Amino acid sequence: MEYAENILGTIGNTPLVKMNKLVEDLPCLVLAKYETFNPGNSTKDRMGLKMVEDAEADGRLKPGGTIIEGTSGNTGMGLALAAITKGYKLICVLADKQSKEKMDILRAVGAEVYVCPTNVEPDDPRSYYSTSKRLSEEIPNSWYVNQYDNPSNAQAHYESTGPEIWKQTDGKITHFVVGVGTGGTISGVGKYLKEQNPNIKIHGIDTYGSVFKKYHETGIFDENEIYSYVTEGIGEDILPKNVNFEIIDHFTKVTDKDAAIYTRRLAKEEGMFLGNSAGSAIKGLRQIHKEYGFTKDDVVVVLFHDHGSRYVGKFFNDDWMLEKGYINEDGSYPEEDK
């Protein structure tokens, strides 16, 4: 008989899927690392479990404890699977720009959810960063995860996602493309892949309103780059310790509109019902081709983080898309941003 001891045993070993329609004009082979096959439907299951297990091992997380984390939703789900299986309480703190579906899903798996305003500075006491820290100080026997600076985040991808991609491509991967938020995925995967072949290019997808691209290129943390944006799960107004800028070769920024359009196109043209950051990633991949030019010998792996079910009320809702100006009255798409 083949079975997992519990749901945590099903994390990882997600498939690579060839992309077709949305990249048919590109000369290279484009493969999607399809992370929604994880039990919590996102790549964050990997680091959620790793962070919990490492905290158990060194005593930061004790029996009967409460796990506290600021999350855009997916890390919360990964932590919830670990908390349920291992017997911990979970408090998730979200910014109010996150989809209602994400909040409802976290409550469905037993998490207590706090919602904080998006448009405040990171050090504002109302921010989801500050609220998470405050709760961890107030609640006895609690552990603040801090995925942004927790080294177990990147380590999870160094130990699992990177080796999987290397094996699945038979070592032929030439480019890795992924959206950057906490930095754990790009840094962990990138470190592993460059250890196997230092010529592999690591591309980060950023969004307008985030500091990553300019900081990578100039070393300047420019507060003028920071403003509110619609795209979920990527970009930051801080510099997480998990972002290893030395491993990343290049950043490209994708607009909210293009991210939204390509999220819908992935569903309708590739049968890939994915989250908003996937739209950013595939549009960003196309921008990278324009800038650098992939060749027929290139094998490009793009990682898709999470599932479309978390965005049904927004990016897959015609009224919401029309209100934002991301689709025309007849349902067609406006011209792509340059």
The CATH number of 7-37+158-317, from 1.10.357.10, 3.30.420.40, 3.40.50.1100, 2.120.10.30, is 3.40.50.1100
The pLDDT score that the predictor gives to residue 123 is 87
The CATH number of 44-144, from 1.20.810.10, 1.10.10.10, 3.40.50.1100, 3.90.226.10, is 3.40.50.1100
pTM for the full model? 0.95
Identify which of 289, 207, 188, 204 has the alpha carbon closest to the alpha carbon of residue 249: 204
**Which residues lie below 8 Å from residue 103, measured CB to CB, with a gap of 6+?**
73, 94, 113, 115
Domain with CATH 3.40.50.1100 in the chain: 7-37+158-317, 44-144
**Which residues lie below 8 Å from residue 224, measured CB to CB, with a gap of 6+?**
none
Q: How far is 337 from 152, CA to CA, in rounded Å? A: 37
Angle at 200 between CA 288 and CA 182, to 5 degrees: 70
97 is catalytic: no
Note whether 80 and 109 are within 8 A (CB): yes
Q: How far is 161 from 12, CA to CA, in rounded Å? A: 7
From first to last of its 338 residues, the chain has per-residue pLDDT tens of 999 999 999 999 999 999 999 999 999 999 999 999 999 999 999 999 999 999 999 999 999 999 999 988 899 999 999 999 999 999 999 989 888 888 999 999 999 999 999 888 888 999 988 999 999 999 999 999 999 999 999 999 999 999 999 999 999 999 999 999 999 999 999 999 999 999 999 999 999 999 999 999 999 999 999 999 999 989 999 999 999 999 999 999 999 999 999 999 999 999 999 999 999 999 999 999 999 999 999 999 999 999 999 999 999 999 999 999 999 999 999 999 87
Chain center to CA of 288: 19
The encoded tokens of residue 216 equal: 């990578």
From 33, 44, 201, 253, active-site residue: 44
The encoded tokens of residue 18 equal: 């060839």
